[in-house]
Amino acid sequence: MIEFQIKTSRNPMREAEHQADPDAANFGEVFTDSMITLRWDEKRGWHDGRLEEYQDIALPPAALVFHYGQEIFEGMKAYRQRDGSIALFRPECNAARFNASARRLAMPELPVETFVRAVELLVKQDRRWVPGGDDNSLYLRPFMIATQPTLEFTLPARSYLFCVIASPAPAYFSTETGPSALSVWLSEEYTRAAPGGTGAAKAGGNYAGAFLGQREAMDQGCDQVVWLDAAEHTWVEEMSGMNLCFVRQSRDGGAPTLMTPALTGTLLPGVTRDSLLTLARRLGLGCEEGRISAEQWREQCEAGLITEVFACGTAAVIVPVGRARGVSGGWTIGDGRPGPVTMRLRAELLGIQHGRIPDESRWLHHVC
Ligand code: COI
């Protein structure tokens, strides 16, 4: 059993400052009082676990992460429940994905129970930082970096640091009246991930490679970039930090189908994506993990077959997509505004996460 020593205390001044104006900071700019650290080396395995004060990390400039980018992370949230208690959402899924990312990046795996306990300890310690309110939560960012000081590039690092930090999160893309629809840019020049690469891992390098596409999207007047497959530049994969879902009407007047690009190995297996497939089935929608080209996306919107598109992820929850554009022009999805299926799924998911709707799948993990 890996132990964590407790070396932190509450800082009521900082809490009070944050609670006085919780919306003062953008997503991921304010951090709670504490953090988790845990080290690994070849001799001792995982050791020196601590719950300590949030602070800078001292590393030698030669630490391998700075040169070869050996880093992975997770995104998860703690939710204030109606009775004031706090719960995590499917934390064991994040732990399993963290280990899948670790395997792909040749890093040591962390026992699932240690990952979950580390997150629980931090949330319990900093529980006063978990905001109330419909779309608010405490965003948790577990990550692991290679710390061995070496420029040698034959084998992965022989020492690592695992950390968890936490940041009170207002709704990522929402306005006071709910989420506004995004406009997206289909990147035809750059790609995010290729078969056999690291696209399915939550590795920092995937996100670093996405910045240029995101900047191109913004230069084109769009909010977010959509990545196409690397081989044919045809098939829609995902956005930089979110999966995509398409609501397709049935031709015979039956229930619509929720279609999301299949996990081909080049896109991230989102926990939100997976949860929505279950919820959609429960709400009587058809579900399909398939594929769609940019051209089919446009044609099916123009034919009134695809009526809604949304992006989903832990940070973003569910965000409607109202318009798509690529080098050969753009099109509107439905009437360009958040659609009923999108908003129903969003209400259902947030309702479960905040304990307002029964948790039939037992996804909530109660912490304190
Ligand atoms: C998350 O949704 O948790 C992510 O890691 C995406 C990130 C771009 C904020």
DSSP assigned state of 333: S
Tokens 């690469």 sit on residue: 197
Amino acid 285: pLDDT:
97
Question: Which residue minimizes the CA distance to atom 5 of ligand 1?
Answer: 75
Taking the centre of ligand 1 as the mean of its atom positions, its distance from the CA of residue 73, in whole angstroms, is: 9
Amino acid 1: pLDDT:
84
Residue pair 97/243 in contact (Cβ under 8 Å)? The answer is no
Amino acid 361: pLDDT:
96
pTM of the model: 0.95
Ligand 1 pocket mutation, candidates 79, 94, 314, criterion most atoms within 8 A of CB: 314
Amino acid 175: pLDDT:
59
Give the ranges where the chain is alpha helix by DSSP (H): 12-20, 64-68, 91-104, 112-125, 204-208, 211-219, 271-282, 294-302, 340-353
CB neighbours of 63 closer than 8 A, spacing ≥ 6? 145, 146, 147, 148, 149
For helices 340-353 and 271-282, the axis angle rounded to 10 degrees is 110
In sign, the C-alpha dihedral spanning 289, 290, 294, 295 is negative
In the CATH hierarchy, which fold is given to the domain comprising 4-170? Answer: D-amino Acid Aminotransferase; Chain A, domain 1 (3.30.470)
Amino acid 150: pLDDT:
96
Ligand 1 pocket mutation, candidates 26, 93, 214, 242, criterion most atoms within 8 A of CB: 242
pLDDT digits (tens, 9 = 90+) for 306-340: 999 999 999 999 999 999 999 999 999 999 999 99
Task: Kindly give the number of the ligand 1 atom that is closest to the alpha carbon of 74.
Answer: 5
> How far apart are the C-alpha atoms of 17 and 181, rounded to whole Å?
32
In the predicted model, residues of the chain with pLDDT beneath 50 are none
Task: Kindly give the number of the ligand 1 atom that is closest to the alpha carbon of 270.
Answer: 2
Other C-beta atoms lying within 10 Å of the C-beta of residue 48: 15
Question: Which residue minimizes the CA distance to atom 3 of ligand 1?
Answer: 75
CB neighbours of 235 closer than 8 A, spacing ≥ 6? 228, 229, 261, 291, 292, 293
E-assigned strand segments in the chain? 4-7, 34-41, 45-53, 71-73, 76-80, 86-89, 137-146, 159-169, 174-175, 178-179, 182-187, 224-228, 236-239, 243-248, 257-261, 286-290, 306-313, 317-326, 329-332, 364-366
> How far apart are the C-alpha atoms of 349 and 365, rounded to whole Å?
15
Amino acid 244: pLDDT:
98
Amino acid 10: pLDDT:
72
Taking the centre of ligand 1 as the mean of its atom positions, its distance from the CA of residue 140, in whole angstroms, is: 10
Task: Kindly give the number of the ligand 1 atom that is closest to the alpha carbon of 240.
Answer: 8
> How far apart are the C-alpha atoms of 145 and 311, rounded to whole Å?
28
Residue pair 88/365 in contact (Cβ under 8 Å)? The answer is yes
Q: Is 321 helix (H, G, I), strand (E, B) or coil?
A: strand
Closest by CA position to 123, among listed 89, 97, 98 = 89
Amino acid 177: pLDDT:
63
Residues whose beta carbon lies within 6 Å of some atom of ligand 1: 75, 241, 313-316
Other C-beta atoms lying within 10 Å of the C-beta of residue 36: 25
Task: Kindly give the number of the ligand 1 atom that is closest to the alpha carbon of 27.
Answer: 9
- CA distances, 46 to each of 1, 142, 164, 238 (Å): 10, 15, 15, 34
For the chain, what are the domain ranges? 4-170, 175-353
Measured CA angle at 368 (ends 277, 171), to 5 deg: 50
Tell me the two tokens of residue 346: 């969003």
Look up the CATH architecture of domain 175-353. Answer: Alpha-Beta Barrel (3.20)
Residue pair 167/32 in contact (Cβ under 8 Å)? The answer is yes
Taking the centre of ligand 1 as the mean of its atom positions, its distance from the CA of residue 148, in whole angstroms, is: 27
Amino acid 283: pLDDT:
96
> How far apart are the C-alpha atoms of 237 and 291, rounded to whole Å?
8
Other C-beta atoms lying within 10 Å of the C-beta of residue 30: 17
Closest by CA position to 117, among listed 32, 220, 169, 46 = 46
Amino acid 26: pLDDT:
81
Taking the centre of ligand 1 as the mean of its atom positions, its distance from the CA of residue 75, in whole angstroms, is: 6
Tell me the two tokens of residue 304: 């009134």
Taking the centre of ligand 1 as the mean of its atom positions, its distance from the CA of residue 315, in whole angstroms, is: 5
Question: Which residue minimizes the CA distance to atom 7 of ligand 1?
Answer: 241
In sign, the C-alpha dihedral spanning 346, 349, 354, 358 is positive
